[in-house]
Chains A and B, each alone.
Chain A
Amino acid sequence: MSEYIPTIGVEVHLELKTNTKIFSDSINGYGEMANSLTNVIDLGYPGTLPTLNEEVINLAIRAATVLNCKIRKTMHFDRKNYFYPDIPKNYQITQARTPIGYDGYVEIEVGGEKKKVFIEEMHIEEDTCKSAHRGTKTLLDFNRAGVPLIEIVTKPCMKSGEEAKAYLEKLKEIMYYCDISDCKIEEGSMRADTNVSIRKNESDPFGTKAEIKNIGSISNVGKAIEKEIERQAKLYDNNETFKPQTRRFDDKLQDTVLMRIKETGNDYRYFPEPDIPYVILTDEIIEEARKKIPMLPDERKKIYVEKGVSELNAKKLIQNRSLSDYFNTLLEESINFKIASNMLLGDISAYLNKYEKTISETTLTQERFIELVKSYEDNIITSKNLKDILEIVLESDKSIKEIIKEQGIENISDDKEIRQLIKRIIEENKESVEDYKAGHDRAIKYLMGQVMKETKGKANPRIANEILVSELK
Chain B
Amino acid sequence: MKYLNKSIKEINELLKQQRIKPIDLVNEAFENIENNNDLNAYITLNKEEAIKKAKELENQEVDNILFGLPIAIKDNIVTSGLRTTCASHILENFIPIYDAFVIKKIKEKNMIIIGKTNMDEFAMGSSSRTSYFGPPRNPWNKEKISGGSSGGSATTISAGDVLFALGSDTGGSIRQPASYTGIVGMKPTYGRVSRFGLVAFASSLDQIGPMTKKVEDNAILLNAIVGKDEKDLTSARVEEEDFTRLIGKEINGVKIAVPNYFMSDIVNNEIKESIKATIKILEKNGAIVDYIDIKYIENAVTLYQIIAMGEASSNLARYDGIRYGTSEENPKDIEDLYLSTRAKGFGEEVKRRIMVGSYLLSGENAKIYYNKALSIRDDMRKEFKKIFKKYDFIIGPTTTTTAYNLSDPMDDPRKSFMDDVLVIPVNMAGLPGLSMPVGFDSESMPIGMQIIANSFEEAKIYQLASLIEKELKLNLNPNGGEE
Contact = CB atoms under 8 A, between A and B. Distances in A.
Nearest to A138: B334
Interface string B188-215: 0000000111111011100000000000
Counting from the closest, the 9 A-B pairs by CB-CB distance are A90-B317, A269-B361, A274-B203, A274-B204, A47-B197, A47-B78, A46-B199, A44-B318, A89-B318
Chain B interface main SS type: loop
Chain B's interface size range is: 35 or more
B287 interface: no
Nearest to A265: B363
A47 B196 contact: yes
Given A81-B317, A270-B366, A271-B310, A47 B234 contact: no
A51 B200 CA distance: 15
A272 B97 CA distance: 29
Interface in A244-284: 265, 267, 269-272, 274-277
Interface residues of A, number: 31
A79 interface: yes
Interface in A60-115: 79, 81, 83, 85, 88-91
A269 B203 contact: no
B387 to A, nearest CB: 25
Contacts of A91: 314, 317
B338 interface: yes
Nearest to A91: B314
A45 B374 contact: no
Contact of A269 (B195, B197, B358): B358
B232 A90 contact: no
13 contacts: A45-B97, A46-B96, A47-B200, A48-B196, A48-B197, A49-B195, A50-B233, A91-B317, A267-B362, A274-B203, A274-B204, A275-B233, A277-B233
A126 B198 CA distance: 23
A52 interface: yes
Given A45-B324, A271-B370, A51 B230 contact: yes
* Most B-side CB within 10 Å, residue of A49, A50, A270, A276: A49
Given A49-B195, A52-B233, A81 B361 contact: yes
A90 B318 contact: yes
B386 interface: no
Given A46-B94, A271-B361, A88 B338 contact: no
Interface of B: 77-78, 84, 86, 91, 94, 96-98, 100, 195-200, 202-204, 230-234, 310-311, 313-314, 317-320, 322-324, 334, 338, 358, 361-363, 366, 370-371, 374
Given A269-B361, A271-B310, A276-B233, A45 B96 contact: yes
Contacts of A89: 317-318
A47 B197 CA distance: 4
Given A83-B338, A269-B358, A275-B203, A49 B231 contact: yes
Chain A interface main SS type: loop
A176 to B, nearest CB: 31
Given A47-B198, A48-B196, A51-B233, A40 B84 contact: no
Contacts of A45: 78, 96-98, 323-324
A275 to B, nearest CB: 5
Contacts of A270: 361, 366
* Most B-side CB within 10 Å, residue of A46, A265, A271: A46
B464 to A, nearest CB: 31
A85 B322 contact: yes
Given A83-B317, A89-B318, A46 B233 contact: no
Interface of A: 40, 43-52, 79, 81, 83, 85, 88-91, 138, 140, 265, 267, 269-272, 274-277
Contacts of A277: 233-234
A271 B196 contact: no
Nearest to A41: B231
Given A44-B323, A91-B314, A269 B233 contact: no
B324 A271 contact: no
Contacts of A138: 334
A45 B96 CA distance: 8
Contacts of A48: 196-197
Given A269-B362, A275-B203, A276-B233, A46 B86 contact: yes
Contact of A267 (B230, B310, B363): B363
A235 B233 CA distance: 53
A40 B320 contact: no
Nearest to B339: A83
B85 to A, nearest CB: 10
Contact of B91 (A46, A49, A51): A46
A45 B325 CA distance: 10
B44 to A, nearest CB: 15
Contacts of A267: 362-363
Contact of B97 (A40, A44, A85, A90): A40
B368 to A, nearest CB: 12
A274 B84 CA distance: 24
A277 B322 CA distance: 29
Contact of B323 (A81, A88, A269): A88
Contacts of A43: 323
A265 B366 CA distance: 14
Contacts of B338: 83
